[in-house]
Amino acid sequence: MSHADILCITLSTWDGPKRVRHNLMREYAKRGHRVIFVEVWLTWIKLFRGSVYWKAAVNVFREPRLTEEGIYVAAMPPLLPGGEWIKFINELNWSIVEWWLRLFVLRKIPLKSPRLFLFAHTAARLVGKFNESVSIYFCNDPFKQIFEFKSAHANLGRLEDELTARVDVVFAVSEKLVEERKKFNPNTFLIPHAADIELFQKAMDGSLAIPADLAACPKPVFGHIGVLNNRIDVDLLRELSRLMPQASFVLIGPVIEVMPQFRQQLDSLKSCGNIFFLGNKEEETLPSYLAGIDVCIVPYVWNDFTKYIKANAKFYQAVASGRPVVSTIGPADFDEEIVMTAKTPGQFVDALHKALGMKSEKYLQKRRAVSALHTYSARVDEIEKVIGSFKR
């Protein structure tokens, strides 16, 4: 495989929670590709908050920083507000990003016919601007549905459809997303989520010390690790707390991407005596937390957003750690030794009790075997197979 340069455009920060875009680029860098990861760190909201952010704004014009993984990270200028509603503003934003890349990034780190990976669902304006060898849209969420203001949904849908049609190849993380994107580009392929198996299998070796904040929680411990946003079924957790007062329900991860009203709903769970918020944790510490969890839970609501989720990265991390999983959303194509699906509080309680009996070596071996098929290395192999067979 040739070590093609990669220009990856995202709407994330590099130092935030590690998601599919971060992990795929890590795998490419590991394989010898030169990767520029364009992040959104600075926003106009931050600039309005004070001079500390204005001082940090000079980073936009500095040379991209090099991470320990060998990835160049460049912080794009703040996007003008309103692009979600008005196409002209969106076009202007990405025109500014294009010229910023030319003047302040690619002059310092010139790329030769790079692959253009777009994780930004409104960035059709960038396609064809960098003499790219192939343009790729990686769709990992139903972006229109998750945007909080419904008045922007129609425009966001048009922008994403335009991007889908304009790129050479589209990858999506679930069958439902593939089905929708394929309406606008026949070169649309499924690339599910995955996990860093080598890291998370450490939870099975028995040598990890359980962190003090988790060790203080009474057993059994049922835990969710991941971003806490409006996917979380607050009512379900409250009812599980009531039905299983002897158990601990542990939530590990940052509270982000939520409206104040939902944050208040989450905070209301703190009044339950057996629901514990342990906060965000560094990725390398997560196997220690998983080692102290008896069953991993995915307590998501079923709505217009979660119906697009098949299995997220946190699911594969849990399987790699050897933990049984109980989830409201499946996935349905694994047997119950890997994941049990429960829709109601009663079903969830029954599944949790059953899962507590699935912790022997027989079950661990099966989870090891399943998780070995869902690595980021395997996902990049799948991507490379598609790209290798693609002809413009």
Indicate whether 83 pLDDT > 70.
Answer: yes
Assigned token pair, 173: 């993380």
Q: Burial level of 107, CB count in 10 A (0-12/13-18/19+)?
A: exposed
Half-sphere exposure in the Cβ direction for 317 (13 Å, CA):
27
Which pLDDT band holds residue 13 (cuts at 50, 70, 90)? Answer: confident
Phi–psi pair at 193, nearest 5 degrees:
-65, 170
Q: Residue holding tokens 């991507």? A: 383
Let me know: does 41 contact 13? Beta carbons within 8 Å: yes
Indicate whether 369 pLDDT > 80.
Answer: yes
The pLDDT of residue 253: 92
Fold of 6-194+376-389: Rossmann fold (3.40.50)
Cα(315)–Cα(307) distance, integer angstroms: 15
Cα(327)–Cα(321) distance, integer angstroms: 16
Domain boundaries, the chain: 6-194+376-389, 197-371
Instruction: Specify the pTM.
Output: 0.89
Fold of 197-371: Rossmann fold (3.40.50)
Indicate whether 44 pLDDT > 70.
Answer: no
Q: Residue holding tokens 């601990």? A: 248
Do 6-194+376-389 and 197-371 agree at the fold level?
yes
- pLDDT (tens digit, 9 = 90+) per residue, 299-351? 998 877 677 777 788 899 999 999 999 999 878 789 999 999 999 999 999 99
The pLDDT of residue 99: 95
CA distance readout (Å), 366 to 17, 153, 337: 28, 42, 8
In the chain, % of residues over pLDDT 70: 93
Phi–psi pair at 209, nearest 5 degrees:
-80, 135
Indicate whether 392 pLDDT > 60.
Answer: no
Cα(174)–Cα(171) distance, integer angstroms: 9
Assigned token pair, 84: 């979600």
CA distance readout (Å), 381 to 27, 136, 388: 10, 15, 10
DSSP 303: S
